[in-house]
Structure 1
Amino acid sequence: MTTKLENLDATVKAVIGERLVQSQLALGELTVVVSAKDYLQVMLDLRDRAETHFEELIDLCGVDYSTYGDGAWDGKRFAVVSHLLSIKNNWRLRVRVFAEDDEFPVLPSVVDVWNTANWYEREAFDFFGILFEGHNDLRRILTDYGFIGHPFRKDFPVSGYVEMRYDADQKRVVYQPVTIEPRENTPRIIREENYGIKG
């Protein structure tokens, strides 16, 4: 007797066919990898084919694999991972696609497939610098419009490049190079024998 997850795996493989790069069943979930050139059509097929009927995109995020596995990773650097839901079939699926160019990551937008992808793709652009071809409003969503860089990239400095503060003399927000003063925190130690005991 086949399990629900095995049925999902077989159905997804039948729908995706030779466009499937990799399939992995682990921890009660199915993850499939497709190429960037097939990504948009695969997502359309997963939504529109009656066998799969993934009518909802519940999450989409960027991933930077540059330091994955303590630097042992030798594949493409940037990926987009989408989580799909089929209410009709009670199935969940993870789809991963890697951008072909590590220096200038570009992937097709799936906003026309699921409009919920709009802000998710903007977030992946903002934090990772992944561009989504066909997205009609690709701009920063969580960092400031003047922000330089993409803060979730593994090579982004922990302290950032600039800091923002309000200058009362100029009566406006100003940007300046980051100034972080090293400090040492000494924990407070309580040495009372009866501390915390009600008498």
Structure 2
Amino acid sequence: MASKLEALKSSVEKVLGEKLVRATIALEELTVVCAASDLAATLTRLRDEPELSFEQCVDLCGVDYSAYADLPCDGPRYAVVYHLLSLKHNWRLRLRVFAADDDFPVLPTSVEVWNGNNWFEREAFDLYGIVFEGHPDLRRLLTDYGFVGHPFRKDFPVSGHVEMRYDPDQHRVIYQPVTIEPREIVPRIIREENYGG
């Protein structure tokens, strides 16, 4: 497995050249990092170069690195991770791209390279607030259109601020402040004498 990964790493380094920021092999997977400004060209090369032939983007997801692995963030906060698959060569690649601005994360869209990324990018926008510049229809996908915030950000409140419910008197969905009272549940433990031996 290591020789195949080393061959893939060598091919990626050769094809991407100066557009490659970093390439690492860990846990039997190759992860490469490129700059946001080079994203469209990098994705196109990874797809079209016969030596690589990553025909499919299997998944695209947002990541909030503000407290990754309980460590303080020492670089950009938001990233998008692309999981690519080459059926021709039977190998996989993880590509990570960081958004430069933590307050308003923006990355170029990848819909022109893989049309199926349309909904993946909408999901990352909805849940993390990452804006994909040039996306044909960037709008919320999983939360309500009136939803405030992005629920997968690590600073999003666990209980939220408002809840919605259907009001039968008004015949519509209404929003109201959260009514959940914080409480601590301590399980009741019953110990039997001589249990287990």
2:145 maps to 1:141: no
Within 2, Cα distance between the matches of 1:161 and 1:182? 13
Secondary structure of 2:37's aligned partner? coil
Equivalent residues in 2 for 1:85-96, closer than 5 Å: 85-96=85-96
**Which residue does the alignment assign to 1:83?**
83
Equivalent residues in 2 for 1:120-131, closer than 5 Å: 120-131=120-131
**Which residue does the alignment assign to 2:67?**
67
Query: Could you tell me the TM-score, scaled by structure 1's length?
Result: 0.91
**Which residue does the alignment assign to 2:34?**
34
Secondary structure of 1:127's aligned partner? helix
Within 1, Cα distance between the matches of 2:37 and 2:192? 67
Residue ranges of structure 2 left out of the alignment (5+ in a row): none
> What RMSD, in angstroms, separates the aligned Cα atoms of the two structures?
1.7
Equivalenced residues, count: 192
1:190: how far off?
Answer: 7.2
Q: Which moved more, 1:182-191 or 1:84-93?
A: 182-191
More helix per residue:
2
Equivalent residues in 2 for 1:104-183, closer than 5 Å: 104-183=104-183
Secondary structure of 2:80's aligned partner? strand
Within 1, Cα distance between the matches of 2:169 and 2:114? 48
Q: Which moved more, 1:167-176 or 1:65-74?
A: 65-74
Identity in percent: 67
Within 2, Cα distance between the matches of 1:116 and 1:73? 31
Within 1, Cα distance between the matches of 2:172 and 2:66? 38
Query: Could you tell me the TM-score, scaled by structure 2's length?
Result: 0.92
Letter in 2 for 1:96: R
Within 2, Cα distance between the matches of 1:19 and 1:75? 19
**Which residue does the alignment assign to 1:197?**
none
Secondary structure of 2:68's aligned partner? coil
Q: Which moved more, 1:123-132 or 1:184-193?
A: 184-193
**Which residue does the alignment assign to 1:99?**
99
Residue ranges of structure 1 left out of the alignment (5+ in a row): 194-199
